[in-house]
Structures are given as C-alpha cells and as structure tokens.
C-alpha cells in the first residue's frame, strides 16, 4: 500500500454520507455554510455559560466573523474549518460533563421569586455541580472530530482534560472518558508512524505554506502575521498614510473580548473559577500551537511547512470568549442591581449596556465587512485574505495521487527502482472517484 489512512478519513467518510455519497458536494456546502454553522455552534456553547440571549447573540456573531475562520476559508483548509465549527461543542460538552454549565429557567441557581430563601433549584445532570456522563460521551465524540481535523490540538486537549480530571476530583471523573474516542482514532495511526512521529501533527491534505503570526497577534485571534503599521490589503481607502488600520481593526475585534475576559477573572464565586479555567485552557492551547509550529511536517515548493496555527488560535479565542461572557454576566448583574436604585440610575445603566453591546459587535462586523469587500474587489486570479492579511495568488494544482497525498507526511517511500507506473487501461475511462482529497 502506498500509505496508511489517517483519522481525517473518517471525517470525510461522514461528510460523504451527509452529502448522499458525494463528499465533494458536501465539502462545497460546508465551505459555503462555514460562517453560519460556526455562529450556530457558538450560540449553543454560549448557553453553557450564560442564559442572556443578547450575550449568546454577540458570541455567535464574534465566532462567525473570527479571523481564523476567514483564513481557513480563504486557503481551503477543510480541517481548520471543521475544527473551528466543532470547538464550541467540545467546550460545551466539557462544561456539562463537569457540571459547570449555567442553569436556565427553573434550574438557574440565582435567587428568584419562585424559590424560598435557601431553597435549591431542581437537580439536573450537567449543571449546578452535577456531572454528566452523557455530556462526557458527547464531548469525546466532538473532540474526536476536532482532533482528526486538526491533529495539532490533540496534545493541548489531552493536557486540559487531564488537569480537569485531576483538579476537579469528583466532578472531574467524567472527563476522562472524553479522551477515549480520540485515542481510538490516533493510537492505530501512531503505530504506523513510529519511525516518523512528526506525521501525527501534520494537517490533513496537501501542505500549504503560511506566515504564522507571533504570539501577541495570536492572542488577538490572528493566525497569520500582519504588519502592525500597515493598512488593509485590497482596500485602497485603508492603505498608506500614518494610520495603522490593520492593528486598529485587530484591536477592535479582540480588544473588548480580552477586556471582558479580564473582568471575568475578578467575578464573584463560581464565575471567577470557571474564568480561570478558560484562561488556563487558552494559554495551554497557544503554547501547544507555538510548540507545534517548530515541527516540520511537510514540504511545499522546497519549503518546510509546520502545522497551521489556525485551530490553536480558534481554541484559545473561544476560551477567551467564554471568559468574556462570564465577565459580561458580572457587569450585567451589577447593572441590574444598580437599576433598582432609581429611574436615573436605571436609564444610565441601560444606556451603558447598549453602548457596550455596540462596542462588542462593531469589531466583528467591521472585520466581516472588510473581508467581504476584499473578496468582491480583489483582482481576477487572486484569493481573498483575512481583513488584516495580504491576498495571495491562486495556483491551480493537479489532483494528487496516493503517493503525493502521503509523501508529505513521510508515510510513503518509493521502491529502490522507483515507483512503477500503472499499466495502461483498455477498459475505457476510469471510474469517477469521489472525495475532496482523492
């Protein structure tokens, strides 16, 4: 055999089933619906942190307009795209597995007129400190899809889950099972790469070159490097001059979220503990992505290529977004208490909340508008780039054969006398092979 299958083949097979046997059509729809699906999964995951619809809506907009998603769509990185869509579901599953998710309605532990003083809300698995084995299983399946699509996330995810299992003690006994599906996928693959273990970190598909962003830009949610003093590539009105438009846009997108994430660290009670966990997971993921960036896993035009930092940036960004939601909950609770003091205080609090929501949404909307404008106004033959990135020319590539698909992972070596060409076919045209990477 020219090479061994990898875990991403199962993801492509599942997409083929969803597409009625045509994985190419399913992948095309996935690219078109990448932003809406990302917003949908972020909406569900935000429900594990807050019950306020306005905050869940803001989280969905932020995640659908994330620069890491734009980079994955621009460069056709199916693995990074699927990981971006699935990461919120992984975090939601882990929250419910440890009983750390927020309760809604009658399960909300905050005092309400319906409960007598000291009365506890009804017990439900996944919230209010009650672990959920079902959620742990769901988190494991979502994590398996995520790590199969972005293998560089397997080690940071394992570190975070092990820390949860050890430090949370009784509540953390369920999260150990979340590692089983990923282990079932990667252990057989690892056994086939014992002589070249770096293949475990290789991104699915052909290796594509990129200019990774430094860590301070990755904290801002940017996977690809940009010039802090430059303008927005592809938009003539925002190029040149003394205004650092690229840096301003990056700060406008990530600045409010980072500020609210810091507020979450100083929240009261359970919120502060949960926010610290999100910050810890974010830093571990960024460190894992930085270390993976020093491992060459492929070649592209005689240039060594490392794993794409987009999935690590996505994971860190959503963890910070979850911490920001906790910080927003703290501020909104304080505003609600201030509103009860009088009419003037109520008006000021509502005005402040409206202004804060506008500031939180204006950055993602501006980034999405800039990215859309670059796509519409770009010259023919070039690809759109994230709002802070330069556009790169598209070069048509032939459909790779099995040898090309696996040679970049180091899993295939030609025989000493060279690979033998297949015999000429006399039975007519070859059958159509389905699948985006065939």
- Indicate whether 192 belongs to any domain: yes
Q: What pLDDT was estimated at residue 429?
A: 40
DSSP three-state, residue 303: strand
- Indicate whether 420 belongs to any domain: no
Give 279's pLDDT tier (boundaries 50, 70, 90). Answer: very high
- Indicate whether 165 belongs to any domain: yes
- Indicate whether 293 belongs to any domain: yes
- Indicate whether 412 belongs to any domain: no
Contacts 24+ apart (CB under 8 A), 187-195: 189/4, 189/5, 189/6, 189/7, 192/4, 192/411, 193/4, 193/409, 193/410, 193/411
- Indicate whether 112 belongs to any domain: no
Task: Return all residues near 387 (Cβ < 8 A) that are at least 6 apart.
Answer: 67, 70, 232, 246, 249, 366, 367, 370, 371, 374
Q: What pLDDT was estimated at residue 120?
A: 59
In this structure, are residues 86 and 140 in contact, taking their beta carbons and an 8 Å threshold? no
pLDDT single digits (tens) 155-193: 999 999 999 999 988 888 899 999 999 999 999 888 888
Structural domain boundaries enclosing 359: 8-105+126-391+402-407
Give 147's pLDDT tier (boundaries 50, 70, 90). Answer: very high
More confident residue, 262 or 341: 262
Q: What pLDDT was estimated at residue 5?
A: 66
More confident residue, 111 or 263: 263
Binning the chain into helix, strand and coil, the percentages to the nearest 5 are 60, 5, 40
Q: What pLDDT was estimated at residue 413?
A: 46
Q: Give the predicted TM-score (pTM) of the model.
A: 0.81
Rounded CA-CA distance 26/274 in Å is 37
In this structure, are residues 80 and 105 in contact, taking their beta carbons and an 8 Å threshold? no
- Indicate whether 199 belongs to any domain: yes
Give 304's pLDDT tier (boundaries 50, 70, 90). Answer: confident
pLDDT single digits (tens) 309-353: 999 999 999 999 999 999 988 888 777 777 666 667 777 777 777
pLDDT at 428 over 80: no
Give 251's pLDDT tier (boundaries 50, 70, 90). Answer: very high
Segment 412-437 mean pLDDT: 43
Rounded CA-CA distance 45/364 in Å is 18
Rounded CA-CA distance 23/30 in Å is 10
- Indicate whether 325 belongs to any domain: yes
Q: Total domain count for the chain?
A: 1
DSSP symbol at 298: E
């Amino acid at each position: 055999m020219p090479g061994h299958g990898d875990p991403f083949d199962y993801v492509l097979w599942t997409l083929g089933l969803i597409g009625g046997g045509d994985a190419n059509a399913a992948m095309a729809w996935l690219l078109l619906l990448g932003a809406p699906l990302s917003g949908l999964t972020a909406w569900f995951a935000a429900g594990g942190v807050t019950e306020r619809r306005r905050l869940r809506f803001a989280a969905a907009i932020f995640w659908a307009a994330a620069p890491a998603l734009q980079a994955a769509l621009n460069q056709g990185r199916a693995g990074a795209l699927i990981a971006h869509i699935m990461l919120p579901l992984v975090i939601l599953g882990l929250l419910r597995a440890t009983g750390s998710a927020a309760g809604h309605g009658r399960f909300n532990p905050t005092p309400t007129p319906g409960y007598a003083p000291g009365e506890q809300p009804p017990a439900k698995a996944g919230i209010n400190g009650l672990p959920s084995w079902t959620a742990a299983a769901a988190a494991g399946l979502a994590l398996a899809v995520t790590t199969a699509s972005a293998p560089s996330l397997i080690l940071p995810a394992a570190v975070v889950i092990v820390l949860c299992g050890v430090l949370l003690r009784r509540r953390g006994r369920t999260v150990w099972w979340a590692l089983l599906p990923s282990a079932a996928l990667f252990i057989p693959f690892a056994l086939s790469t014992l002589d070249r273990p770096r293949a475990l970190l290789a991104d699915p598909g052909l290796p594509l070159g990129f200019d990774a962003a430094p860590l301070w830009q990755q904290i801002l949610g940017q996977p690809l490097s940009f010039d802090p003093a430059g303008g927005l590539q592809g938009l003539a009105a925002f190029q040149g001059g003394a205004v650092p438009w690229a840096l301003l846009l990056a700060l406008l997108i990530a600045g409010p979220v980072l500020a609210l994430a810091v507020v979450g660290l100083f929240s009261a009670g359970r919120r502060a503990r949960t926010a610290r966990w999100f910050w810890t997971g974010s830093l571990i993921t960024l460190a894992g992505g930085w270390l993976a960036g020093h491992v060459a896993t492929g070649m592209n035009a005689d240039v060594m290529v490392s794993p794409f930092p987009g999935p690590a940036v996505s994971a860190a960004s959503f963890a910070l977004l979850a911490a920001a939601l906790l910080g927003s909950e703290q501020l909104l609770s304080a505003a609600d208490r201030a509103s009860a003091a009088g009419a003037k205080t109520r008006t000021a609090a509502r005005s402040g909340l409206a202004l804060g929501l506008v500031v939180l949404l204006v950055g993602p909307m501006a980034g999405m508008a800039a990215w859309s404008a670059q796509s519409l106004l770009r010259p023919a033959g070039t690809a759109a780039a994230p709002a802070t990135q330069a556009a790169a020319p598209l070069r048509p590539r032939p459909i790779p054969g099995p040898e090309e698909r696996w040679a970049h992972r180091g899993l295939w070596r030609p025989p000493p006398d060279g690979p033998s060409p297949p015999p000429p076919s006399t039975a007519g045209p070859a059958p159509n092979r389905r699948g985006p990477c065939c």
